[in-house]
Structure 1
Amino acid sequence: MQRMAIDLTKRNLIRLGAMGVIAPSWLAGCSTANSCVQDKQRTPQLIGGSIRHNGEFDVVIAASGTQPIHQLPLPGRGHGVAIHPHQPLAVMFGRRPGTYAMVFNYQSGQMESLLLAPKQRHFYGHGVFSSCGQWLYATEGERSSSRGIIGVYDTQRGYNKIDEFTGFGVGPHEVIVMADGTLAVGVGGVHTDGRTPLNLTTMRPSLVYLSATGELLEQVSLTDHRKSIRHLAHDGDEVVLTGQQYRGEADFYVPLVALHKRGQPMQELGGEPEDWARFNHYIASIAANKHHIVATSPRGNCYGIWDKESMNLLQINVLPDASGVVVKDGQFFISSGAGKVVKIAPDLTVKMMGSPTQWDNHWQMIT
């Protein structure tokens, strides 16, 4: 197995600052990570990225969608969050093409480790822990080719990289773990220089299933190769939900959410072209409970609700910079970059709450 020691603990932050990896303002922020604690007795429930008014970035741990408990500064804009299944640890991944993954304790609000991508590699912004908690799987890419890689890090050995899975395509974005331990990977299919796409006419997106040891188990695609499969969720059982970014004609509006069961073709959710136009070619986050599916679009400033059984579109609702969506006890919680949180009850009753946090990209529920 390949072993790559790129784990950098808190002891090394001063050295990183001297090297120019971390800005002095970020180093100063590490000593005040607990400054926004409102009530130490509250239990952390939600973790997500945020943008400060001065343009700097944080990861926020909140007891609810409205009040932060801890706020840790990040070395760059964050994207996806992975939460350890058994310990009070989480990882924030840098936004694509990301240079870091930061491990922190969400109970204490302290950083544990900082993983840096080698110069020839980058993180794609997402990762997930194995069900046992020993392995951290991260979507990564080779800068010169966007060759897709799942980096495997050993959480019991200082988050050293011990393996890499590859050979499944270009531009993986999100990886999730299914109930049986199988990995599902949303492969965007796009080769990029930074964030500039280079192969839109030949892109080959897919949904890939890998074993816990990297064996390719299944690979399926949508009929339109211009739909880059990016964001994933599952319903706790066998259904994988995929959110797409459409890379075709600007005035052509197509379904952007699909579901899949192993051994079957992908099925796209319902909606007329004028409905899908509201999402502005991009789905950010997806979640499902027993009866409904919710998907957000920050570019479209909205979120949609579908009936899970019929796959019919039920609602599209306005929400500026609609970002993360999670489920707890059958209720959906949606974050917004405009300082709003939407709570949707199982009967689809909606409650809007204000938040002091300008939420950014994704968030996760601590279970």
Structure 2
Amino acid sequence: MAHLDRRTLLSGMAALSAVALLPQSAEAAKKAVRRGRKGVMVGGLKGLDPTTRQMVHALTLIDLDAPTERRSIPLTFLAHGFALDPRNPNRAIVFEKRGPGAAEVELKSAKFMRPLKTTPERAFYGHGVFSKDGTLLFVTENHLATRKGLVSVWDGRTLAPMGEFPTYGENPHDILLTPDGKQLVVTNGGGAYPDGDAPCVTVIDIATRQLLEKNVFTDPRINAGHVQRSARGELVVVSAPRDGLPNTEHGAVSIKPPNGKLTTLVDPVEVTRAMTGESLSLTIHDPTRRVMVTNPDANLVTVWDLSTQKFVKSYAKPKARGVMQTLDRQHYVICHGQTATVSFVSTRTLEEVPELQIEKSLIAGSHIFAWDGVLA
């Protein structure tokens, strides 16, 4: 948590006066590339006001093509995951990690619309995704007493609850929709090491709500955290040490080819063992077949080649958390440090671009997302 001095906090909030990419159609992504836009960076803000001693939360929006253009949407929780409505690119649902918080927001006008509420015996676990046609919203939740995971189903427009089905694991977290819109991929963090339920990545058929695949790690000491899918169909999963293990243990990056097995990358050992704590955020750059991963506790960012499953490069970045790409796919964007400095790295050369750096974004959440929109 950032304990921000009053000048930094208030100046940041005044500037905010009002991903990994947010899910968007392939055509929308192509248009963004043609326009050469970096996009609007979206992420969760959290800070302690030193005068009131009250926690401040908001959803922050920064136009990367005009960084002085900033907005904020007040929230009562730290925003973790985002689900963008495929029918309305200005509408999103944001989620708290392990808590009761979720909300509908309007991005263009930077407005809080309404909360999404679960039942007292359950908690939102950080992520959700709309169906391909936007009529349904799927959200990862947890039964607090049993840790059994569930996908809750909501009406995509009214947000009325419509049912639920199991994630086929414990402590679920991330969730993504396959390109055909027929299946969900869910990461299940599992129970405490060594005797708890094994962490896994499950694939669930939406129509039948039946389990199609259950992928378990070869390393029993890591959990299943966040997941992304490449254009060629690989699943890339990042992990933290399992519950019951100290955070001094290492995280991991694992890759599952289409119709292949989930394999955790172990070489070079000097790199993978340096990835202490949680491997938190990731983004896949499909044109170069590379994935960038952050490890906040290790002050480390790494890049891996999907085709060879080899290590490519690393960067020393204090408390690096969120990572994404610009809409034009020209830069990786890394959010790091006490006041969430935003650094840019060329996706082609992997060299840093210091002239683009943005100071004091104040984004303290685990993720940042590129939104293809315009701030009002």
* Cα deviation 1:310-348 (Å, max 9, x = unaligned): 111122211122111122333322222532112222221
> Per-residue deviation at 1:202?
2.5
Check whether the contact 1:253–1:276 (CA below 8 A) recurs between aligned residues.
no
The CA distance in 1 between the partners of 2:69 and 2:211, in whole Å, is 41
What code does the residue aligned with 2:219 have?
A: D
- In the alignment, the residues of structure 1 paired with residue 277 and residue 61 of structure 2 have an alpha-carbon distance, to the nearest angstrom, of 30
For residue 92 of structure 1, what is the amino acid of its counterpart? V
Larger relative contact order (Cα-Cα within 8 Å, sequence gap ≥ 6): 2
Per the alignment, do residues 106 and 314 of structure 1 end up closer, same or farther by CA in structure 2, a change over 3 Å counting? same
Given candidates 247, 260, 265, the residue that maps to 2:261 is: 265
**Structure 1 residue aligned with 2:119:** 118
The CA deviation at 1:139 is 0.6
- Among 307, 312, 325, the alignment partner of 2:323 is 325
Question: What letter is aligned with 1:108?
Answer: S
Using the size of structure 2 for normalisation, the TM-score is 0.79
Instruction: Give how far 1:149 is off.
Output: 0.4
Which of residues 180, 198, 205 in structure 2 aligns to 1:204? 198
Report deviation, 1:69. Answer: 2.6
Give 2:368's aligned residue: 363
> Which segments of 5 or more consecutive residues in structure 1 lack a partner in the other structure?
1-31, 191-197
Dislocated runs of 4+, deviation >4 Å = 32-35, 65-68, 248-255
2: distance between equivalents of 1:310 and 1:224?
A: 20
For 1:295, the equivalent position in structure 2 comes to 293
Q: Return the letter of the residue paired with 1:354.
A: I
CA contact (8 A) 1:305 1:313 kept: yes
Is 1:142 aligned to residue 143 of structure 2? yes
Task: Give the deviation of 1:272 after TM superposition.
Answer: 3.0
**Aligned with 1:218: secondary structure?**
strand
* Counterpart Cα distance in 1 of 2:45 and 2:16: 16
Question: In the alignment, residue 265 of structure 1 is paired with which amino acid?
Answer: K
**TM-score, with structure 1 as normaliser:** 0.81
Q: Deviations over 1:129-182 (max 9, x none)?
A: 2222222111100010011001111122x1011121215111111001121222
* Matched ranges for 1:18-57 at <5 A: 36-37=17-18, 45-54=40-49, 55-57=55-57
Answer yes or no: is the 8 Å Cα contact 1:234–1:240 preserved in 2. yes
**3-state SS of the aligned residue for 1:116?**
coil
Q: Within 5 Å, which residues of 2 pair with 1:72-221? A: 72-87=73-88, 88-96=90-98, 98-156=99-157, 158-166=158-166, 168-181=168-181, 182-190=183-191, 198=192, 200-213=194-207, 214-221=209-216
Letter in 2 for 1:361: S
Of residues 268-277 and 214-223 in structure 1, the stretch that sits farther from structure 2 once superposed is 268-277
Unaligned regions of 5+ residues in structure 2, if any? 1-12, 19-36, 50-54
Query: Structure 1 CA distance, aligned partners of 2:271 and 2:16?
Result: 43
Identity %: 23
Task: Specify the SS of the correspondent of 1:203.
Answer: coil
Q: From 343, 355, 358, give the equivalent of 1:354.
A: 358
Match of 1:243 among 220, 238, 241: 238
Counterparts of 1:349 and 1:304, CA distance in 2: 13
What is the alpha-carbon distance in structure 2 between the residues aligned to residue 164 and residue 244 of structure 1?
Answer: 26
Amino acid at match of 1:202: G
Contact kept, 8 Å, 1:82 with 1:364, in 2: the verdict is: no
In 2, are the aligned partners of 1:285 and 1:324 still within 8 Å (CA)?
yes
Check if 1:334 corresponds to 2:334: yes
The answer to whether the aligner puts 1:284 opposite 2:280 as a matched pair is yes
Cα distance in 2 for partners of 1:164, 1:320 equals: 40
> Quick one: distance in 1 between partners of 2:223 and 2:200?
8
Deviation for aligned residue 1:235: 1.7
The structure whose residues are more often strand, as a share, is: 1
Give the Å deviation of 1:363. Answer: 1.7
- Which residue does 2:3 correspond to in 1? none
Alpha-carbon distance between aligned partners in 2 of 1:120 and 1:102, rounded to the nearest angstrom: 19
Alpha carbons of structure 1 residues 265 and 252: separation in structure 2 relative to 1, 3 Å: farther
Aligned pair in 2 of structure 1 residues 323, 189: CA closer, same or farther (>3 Å)? same
Which residue matches 1:15? none
* Distance in 2 separating the partners of 1:289 and 1:80: 20
User: What secondary structure, in the 3-state scheme, does the structure 1 residue paired with 2:297 have?
Assistant: coil
How far the C-alpha of 1:107 sits from its partner, in A, is: 0.4
CA contact (8 A) 1:337 1:358 kept: no
Q: Secondary structure at the match of 1:322?
A: coil
Aligned position for 1:223: 218
* 2: CA distance, partners of 1:233 / 1:251: 23
- Give the Cα separation in 2 of the matches to 1:251 and 1:84: 35
Q: C-alpha deviations, 1:170-228, integer Å up to 9, x for none?
A: 111100112122211111112xxxxxxx5643331111111223221111111122210
Deviations 1:36-84 (A, max 9, x none): 25xxxx9962211112352422111221294453211211222112222
Task: Give distance in 2, aligned partners of 1:277 and 1:361.
Answer: 22
